[in-house]
Amino acid sequence: MPASTRGPRPAVPAGSAAEAIVQALAEAGTRLMFGVPGGGPNLDVVGAAGAAGLRFILARGETAAVIMAATYADLTGTPGTTVVTRGPGLASAVNGIAHAALDRLPVVVIADTVAAADTSRISHQRIDQAALGRSVAKAAITVGRQHAGESATRIVRMARAAPAGPVIANMDDSAPVAVDGGGPDDSTAPASSTDTTSAAFLAGALRAARRPVLLLGADAIPRTAALRAALAGRGIPALHTYRARGIIPDSCAEAAGLVTGGTMEWPLLSAADLIIGLGVDEAEMIPASWNYTARTILITEPAASPGPAPDPAYRGYFTGATALRMPLARAAEALAAGPGHDWPPDAGRAAKADAAARLAAAAVASPGLLAPQQVVATVRAGTPPETIATVDAGAHMLVAMPLWEVPEPRRLLVSSGLATMGYALPAAIAAALCVPQAPVVAFTGDGGLGMTLAEIETAVRLSLRVIVIVFNDAALSLIKLKQKPSGQGGGEAVSYRHVCFAAAATAMGAAGAAVTTEPGLATALAAALRRPGPTVIDASVDPAGYLAVMDLSRGQAGRRSGPAPAGRLRSAAP
């Protein structure tokens, strides 16, 4: 039909699948929707969202859109949602879906699909979306007109059920409701009630210990107030996983730095006689050996509904540990009531300061270049405490994560479970939308920004104060460090031509600055903080110090040799 004779698109039919999924999301508190729509059912969803008061945010790529939705879920506690088209749209979104799955974030991915009524005649853009979805999501469910409300409610409920994660809704008004696959939602998920035996076991372990150390994971964030009250002034060192940073403020004496399974935490953990993990997820740990001899107890929250206790989310990484299910608030009470210990009052602060000092000592900068440590320190010194920082995967992450100090949770965001490149900029865009009063800084490498560069235009279009700091050394530096001297591709496998990302940002309407010194970086940062829109600061960095940083955080130097402690994970207290 010629464009001049086309009429307006019909309103979304009442009772349609699009209307049902939007209503279920709105009732769960969702207020933003991200995506790259195609035609047909996609536009019905976007239209239904507008009618329900949900704002649609157009991204440049599907993976970026899912990362935005996952960050929205992380910061708001409500389900994130993304709209993608069938075939290439869903396929392109897989990396973002996998990120949401491994960081346990509730995201509903709404995908167009080839209608059931048309499957006999259409092969264009037709893939097995149910099978693809099941490989990365909790479930892939077809939403048809029949029982659309029930299906939509189940999808949202399933995304939020512990452990939270992504669910794919394949939209097809022509199909009867059909579940293509998935796990239990929160109406059937098994759980356990408060276990007094577990509480007694923990109390006994604390009485027997003289040097306890805590590992705080992201699942402990909802219990931040209880943990702070229990630990304040106790002097028990507390290590945080990446996503848990800020449960204990970095300014407190108990905050001892990071735990990743690497080497920085080795001096503290090797001196401990009891290690207690609270809400720790194995997905956050690097695949190194857990070879500490201290007794290890891992505590996770029971689920909300009655039923038999499921196996905890531990597959054996913490060799020889005991797994307990009990409310983390009750574990905090046990910590508060526990006996004294032999740690110096500032043992946690001293451990963190030692790690920071070793990182600082590894800083190397040739004339005309910045050390990555200088970049992080200068930006932290020039931004207010409430600043939100997002960190991409790459060598710079090993510097940014331990050196960026935070006063509370969810002020330092990273793709921890998947560790995907291309995370920082989309996450920063979502953070700026969720917390507009706080400055947002995205730390990224030239490789990661190259994957998401077009999203600079998204930040410009939305007038978001996002400050992108590019660690520019024209290489995949982390991968370069892992190359053997010969036989693994050499420079051609890991090196790029130099790109001026400041100029690229200017071409897309953002402000741009190229810096090579600390004063230049500080000046560009101050200007970016005064500017209402986005700024890209292209920092030329010297990668020479990354080798020492890699050894400090990921190497085996200083780690205990010999076999891991005997025994596997036990599922309950003896």
**pLDDT of 475-496, one tens digit each?**
667 777 776 666 676 776 777 7
Q: Are 411 and 388 in contact (CB under 8 A)?
A: yes
More confident residue, 508 or 311: 508
**Is residue 173 assigned to a domain?**
yes
Same domain, 465 and 534: yes
The two tokens of residue 176 are 């009867």
Q: Can you give the length of the chain in residues?
A: 574
pLDDT tens-digit map of 206-222: 999 999 999 999 999 99
Q: Does residue 163 have a cis peptide bond before it, meaning omega lies within 30 degrees of 0?
A: yes
More confident residue, 140 or 305: 140
Q: Is 549 helix (H, G, I), strand (E, B) or coil?
A: helix
Same domain, 178 and 200: no
Model confidence at 137: pLDDT above 60: yes
Model confidence at 27: pLDDT above 70: yes
Same domain, 112 and 165: yes
pLDDT at 551: 81
pLDDT at 329: 93
Mean pLDDT score, 287-313? 72
Same domain, 20 and 50: yes
CB neighbours of residue 329 within 10 Å: 15
**Is residue 1 assigned to a domain?**
no
Pairing of strands 322-325, 295-300: parallel
pLDDT at 310: 40
Best mean pLDDT range from 15-29, 41-55, 343-357, 505-519: 505-519
Average model confidence (pLDDT) across the chain: 86
Q: What b/e string do you get for 251-279 counting C-beta neighbours within 10 Å, with b at 16 or more? A: ebbbbbbbbbbbbbbbebbebbbbbbbbb
Q: Is 214 helix (H, G, I), strand (E, B) or coil?
A: strand
**Of 382, 348, 352, the residue nearest 469 (C-alpha):** 382
**Is residue 413 assigned to a domain?**
yes
Give the residue from 286, 317, 347 where a domain finishes: 347
pLDDT tens-digit map of 350-379: 999 999 998 888 888 889 999 999 999 999
Tell me the percentage of the chain whose pLDDT exceeds 70: 84
Same domain, 175 and 209: no
pLDDT at 287: 83
The type of residue at 411 is R
pLDDT at 157: 96
Same domain, 419 and 468: yes
More confident residue, 280 or 180: 280
Same domain, 481 and 433: yes
Mean pLDDT score, 275-287? 93
pLDDT tens-digit map of 535-548: 999 999 988 888 88
pLDDT tens-digit map of 319-338: 889 999 999 999 999 999 98
**Of 389, 55, 405, 68, the residue nearest 240 (C-alpha):** 405
Question: Chain-centre distance of CA 298, in angstroms?
Answer: 21
Same domain, 341 and 275: yes
The two tokens of residue 155 are 């999808």
**Is residue 40 assigned to a domain?**
yes
Q: Is 535 helix (H, G, I), strand (E, B) or coil?
A: strand
Residue 513 C-beta-side C-alpha neighbours within 13 Å: 20
pLDDT tens-digit map of 71-127: 999 999 999 999 999 888 999 999 999 999 999 999 999 999 866 666 666 667 677
**Is residue 188 assigned to a domain?**
no
**Is residue 216 assigned to a domain?**
yes
Phi, psi of 170 (to 5 degrees): -85, 115
**Is residue 275 assigned to a domain?**
yes
pLDDT at 190: 34
pLDDT tens-digit map of 386-412: 999 999 999 899 999 999 999 999 999
Model confidence at 56: pLDDT above 80: yes
**Of 232, 238, 237, 292, the residue nearest 261 (C-alpha):** 292
- Tell me how many domains the chain contains: 3
Give the containing element (helix H, strand E) for 445.
strand 440-445
Same domain, 22 and 171: yes
pLDDT at 41: 81
**Is residue 354 assigned to a domain?**
no
Alpha carbon distance 165, 96 (integer Å) = 11
Alpha carbon distance 87, 30 (integer Å) = 26
Same domain, 156 and 284: no
Tell me the percentage of the chain whose pLDDT exceeds 90: 65
Task: Specify the CATH number for the domain of residue 468.
Answer: 3.40.50.970
Model confidence at 183: pLDDT above 90: no
Alpha carbon distance 488, 467 (integer Å) = 35
Same domain, 56 and 110: yes
Alpha carbon distance 408, 405 (integer Å) = 9
More confident residue, 319 or 464: 464
Out of 3-7, 162-166, 269-273, 471-475, pick the least confident.
3-7
Same domain, 301 and 436: no
The type of residue at 110 is I
pLDDT at 443: 98
Alpha carbon distance 120, 229 (integer Å) = 63
The type of residue at 28 is A
Mean pLDDT score, 502-507? 96
Q: Are 539 and 459 in contact (CB under 8 A)?
A: no
Domain that holds residue 15: 10-182
pLDDT band at 180 (very low <50, low <70, confident <90, very high): low
Mean pLDDT score, 236-250? 97
The two tokens of residue 539 are 């920092």
pTM over 0.85: yes
Q: Cα–Cα distances in Å, from 354 out to 348, 350, 358? A: 10, 6, 6
Residue pointed to by tokens 């190259």: 450
pLDDT at 306: 41
Task: Specify the CATH number for the domain of residue 318.
Answer: 3.40.50.1220
Model confidence at 312: pLDDT above 50: no
DSSP 505-526: HHHTT-EEEEE-SHHHHHHHHH
pLDDT at 476: 64
